[in-house]
Structures are given as structure tokens and as C-alpha cells.
Structure 1
Amino acid sequence: MRIKKSGYTAFFICLIYIIVCGFISDKQVYPRLGIVSGLAQDSLAYASGFKMIGESVPKLLSPALTDEQFNANLKKIKAAKCKVLSCNLFFPSNMKIAGPDVDEAKVLAYAETVLSRAGQAGVKFIVLGSSGARSIPVDYDMVKAKADFAGLCKKLAQIAGKYKVIILLENLETTETNFITSLKSAAEIVREVNHPNFRLNADIFHMMREGESPNEIIEAGALIAFSEVAEKQNRSLPGVMGDDFKPYLRALHKINYKGFIFIEGNIKNAPTEMPFAFQYLSAQVAAVYSEKKTD
């Protein structure tokens, strides 16, 4: 189903959502939706139905920002209609966090500032994607890279715990990085770190691009503290191309996931696409979470 200018499609999806929700018990709890749209689109996100948004570390929390700039950001966060729940783009591409060129002291000092500021700002989640920062040389020992990375992440988790922030390791795809390109491999790192402030972000968009089965969500289980989604072909918002996310949502439902699902995609026509995406994804979530779980 594609977005239509007439608005009939949006109305139809919204109607389905209302009908489906009517069959759900008042006690039914299902994932809350957010969107990575930034403070610049806070009002539109709120009007579209979202109550939570994602921003980026460079814009909001980076050590490159002066205290004055950061304090100005705090005022913007406080005035926002939506809750700024997460920030992505944790590490810049020139600050290596995996491979032979990691300057651990520099990485930890940088993370200390970012996570301290996240705590002050009330940002609960920092997404660790950072494709450039975590890419490794083609001929580098993968076993060593994973062991060293897990060791670094344990130290990052300790800092995050100090500021009551959760770092979310994100599975990426092979077009973006050559290190940790599946939910399965990301889950292995999270298990090794074994810290409550270092959890897993199940990125459904990247899973679809890599052809990864929804069963990997079930295998990861309680490691998952967050999920992100966009349509497979162009990373468009849900509803633009009409992608069916229900197999992955069904896996989340099976593990009793009741956390957050954030849309992180390319937005071409925000006033049209954002409200439609909220309606479209809400309908799929409601439909799946109203189903009876099967073994």
C-alpha cells in the first residue's frame, strides 16, 4: 500500500487501527512508537501522534559543543512537546572503537562527556551504531576484534551505569560496515558484556537488508531493549512502499517485548509521511499484539 495524495489511504489505515485497538483489552500493553526526526521536527512529530523522538549525539551531547551550547540544548529539550528518548551517531568515524587503532583513553574520555550530558538531558538511550568508527581492516583478526571490542564495551557500560543511561548496540548491514553486521553477532557481544546498561537494539531495517530471520529476535530475547524500523528498499518511512513488518513484530511479541519501536528512515515529505507512518505502523503493531501467542 503506497501513500496517496487524496488521503483516503491514510484514513483507511487509521480506521483499521481504531477497529483493531477496539478488540484489545485495556490491560494489553504493546510497544510505544517514536521517530528519529530531531528537535527541528518536534511539533510535527507530536501532531503526527508520536510522543517520543530521537536526536543525535553531535547535535545534542557532543564534547565539541561548549557548555553554553549544551545548556541551550537543555532548554530546547525541556520546551519540546515530545520526549527526547534516544540519540544516535555515538562516535565520529575518525574515533576508532574496534580494530588495531583504538585509543581507549580517548574513547572513554569522549564517552564520559557524552553519557554525562545524556544523563543531565534525560536521554535514556544512546544507540551504538557508529559504522565508520567500528569498521576494521579487511584482513584483521575478527576473533581479536570482537574480544577487544567487548572489553571496551564493558568499560563503556560502567560509565553508562554511572549516569543511568543505556547504550544500545545496533546491528548494521554490510553496505555500512564490516564489523557486527547481524543481530546474531550483536547479541553475542551484548551477552559477553553482560551489563544492564549495555543492551541490544534490534534494527529491523538492517535485518531485512541482510536477509536475517525474525527468529534471531527470539534467540536474542531479553537482551533487546529497543527496536528500530524502516522500509527495506529505500529506508523510507513505514507505509510509503507498504512493507509488511508483522513477521518481525510477531517475534517481538513472542518474547513479550513491550519497549520502544522507533522509526528511523529517510523523510521526503514530512507533513504527509510522518502521520501516515504513525498510523501504518500502529496498525501493524496493534494487529500483531492482539494475536494469541503460539509456541
Structure 2
Amino acid sequence: MLLGCYVGPRELRFIREAGFDYAELNAKVTKPSMPDAEWQAVRDELLRNQVPLLAFNRLFPPDMAIVGPNVDMDEIARYLAIAFARMADLGGQHVGFGAGKNRRVPDGFPPDEARAQLAHVVRMAGDLAAAHGMWVHFEFFNRAETNLMNTVEEALTFIRDLAHHRVDLLVDFYHLVQNGEPVSELAKARGCIGYVHVADEQRRWPGSGSLPVREWFAALRDMDYHGPISIECNFADPIPELRQAGEAIRRLSYSGGSVR
């Protein structure tokens, strides 16, 4: 089991010291609008810390719609082609497909058409992931953040219908809790989960609150999940809290003296 943490570029140099195996970054660090010649300097700076940059999330800019009447599939294709190439260039293997705001269905727009648009974009991302030896992990979101694909079952049905060999499910326990879904609901997704996000109350680091993080790890072990687990949370003071988060997630992931 690899343990990672979502951070900004400024925190990369603290990842190893905090005990994490890798860093997860916002896909915006790939700067798809930047010319290749300028990108090389950005790339070198990100890699200078010698931290594995295995994962990326927040795939789209907030203002890029992927469903609805104003979708520009050609623009999306151009953007994704550059973003995936640069994520791969940084050593990326995992890409979280959340995009809650981007996939919010406008009032009055046909839900079936929105679902078809979303499927088209996810398939596009899956094809690019396959070309670069990466994976796309599709995420269900709580109802406060989007109105399309909110539950475990909805997301699972979606990826099974999509049937793309490089697209599976991302489970973020924060969204599970916000939706009021029981952990037992994840049993339906056994064998389909490729990536996991964890956080505690108010999106703080796991172990800082009272949410049953240990129970979540136990549920993952029961499903024989051995993939990456990443903290996606809000740090009030990143430097000391990164260390606390690293210690906590290591402790919580142990069972019988061994890490699964």
C-alpha cells in the first residue's frame, strides 16, 4: 500500500520527511496553455525535490464545462492531450476524475445528454491514460458539490457501462460521509476501486477528528484493496500538520503489525 498526500508545489520538499511515499498534485501544475519550451523549466523545478509525483487530481480548470449546452469537445480534447502528456512526463500514474463543478448539469438540460457527454469525456481521458501508461479514477461527489454521479452505486454503474480498461473508481470517504452512505456500500465496488482519498471532519487530516478512519481502512482490507491511499485535506499550517498527518495515516493503516 502506497500512502500519499495532496499538496501544492511549495510543500513537495516536506513529503518524504513526513513519511509519505508520494505526492499528489493539482493537474493545473501542468499548465496546458504554456508553450513546451517554457514548460521544461516548470517540469524541472517540480522534479527537483526528488519526490515521486505519482498522482494528480482536479483535472479541469473550474471554468471548463464538460456537460451542458456550452461544451466544446475540441477544446477539451486539446487541453487533455497536453495535460496527460505532461502528467506522464512528471511520472504520473494516477489521475483522479472528480470535476464536480465542471459536471454540474444546468437547470433544464436533459440528464441523459449530460451523462452521455460525461461518458465521452471520461472515455477520452481513459484513452489518453492508456496511451501514457496511466489510470483514470472516476470519483462520485457529494450532492452539495454536483448533481451528477453522487453515490457509490451511480458511479459504479457508470464505469461498468463505460467498460474502459483504464478507468476505475476513486473512493473519497469525505463524499461518502457527506452523502450519509454507509461504509458497507463499498462492498458493491469490490475489485473496481483503484484509488482512495481520506480526510477527517471538516476536511482536516485523518486522525485529527472523530471520523472512523480505522474502520475505513479495515473495510478496504476486507475488500483486498492494495492500491494507493492519499490524504486530500485542508491544512491550516501545512508544515507541522504534514508530519502529524503522515504519522497518523501510517498508524491507522497498520493491522497486526504490518501494512497492507
Mark yes or no: TM-score above 0.5: yes
Secondary structure of residue in 2 paired with 1:131: coil
Following superposition of structure 1 onto structure 2, how do residues 63-212 of structure 1 map, counting pairs within 5 Å?
A: 63-212=32-181
Aligned 8 A contact 1:36 1:53 in 2: yes
1:273 aligned residue (237, 241, 256): 241
Deviation at 1:225, TM superposition (A): 0.7
Deviation at 1:94, TM superposition (A): 2.1
The aligned counterpart of 1:228 is 197
Deviation at 1:111, TM superposition (A): 0.9
Q: Are the structure 2 counterparts of residues 183 and 62 from structure 1 closer, same or farther at C-alpha, using a change threshold of 3 Å?
A: farther
1:45 aligned residue (7, 10, 15): 15
Unaligned regions of 5+ residues in structure 1, if any? 1-30
Structure showing greater radius of gyration is 1
Deviation at 1:141, TM superposition (A): 2.9
Unaligned regions of 5+ residues in structure 2, if any? none
Deviation at 1:35, TM superposition (A): 0.4
Structure 2: distance between partners of 1:104 and 1:39? 30
Deviation at 1:69, TM superposition (A): 3.4
1:196-224, Cα deviation, whole Å (9 max, x unpaired): 22121111111111111212322112221
Q: Check if 1:57 corresponds to 2:24.
A: no
1:30-62, Cα deviation, whole Å (9 max, x unpaired): x22100013311222211111201111112x13
Tell me the matched-pair count: 260
Secondary structure of residue in 2 paired with 1:83: coil
Q: Are the structure 2 counterparts of residues 146 and 71 from structure 1 closer, same or farther at C-alpha, using a change threshold of 3 Å?
A: same
Structure 1: distance between partners of 2:257 and 2:109? 43
What amino acid does structure 2 have at the position aligned with 1:237?
A: W
Structure 2: distance between partners of 1:185 and 1:240? 30
Identity %: 23
1:138-184, Cα deviation, whole Å (9 max, x unpaired): 33332332233223322321122111121111121122211112232
Aligned 8 A contact 1:249 1:288 in 2: no
Structure 1: distance between partners of 2:68 and 2:219? 33
Aligned 8 A contact 2:56 2:96 in 1: yes
Length-normalised TM-score, structure 2:
0.91
Secondary structure of residue in 2 paired with 1:145: helix
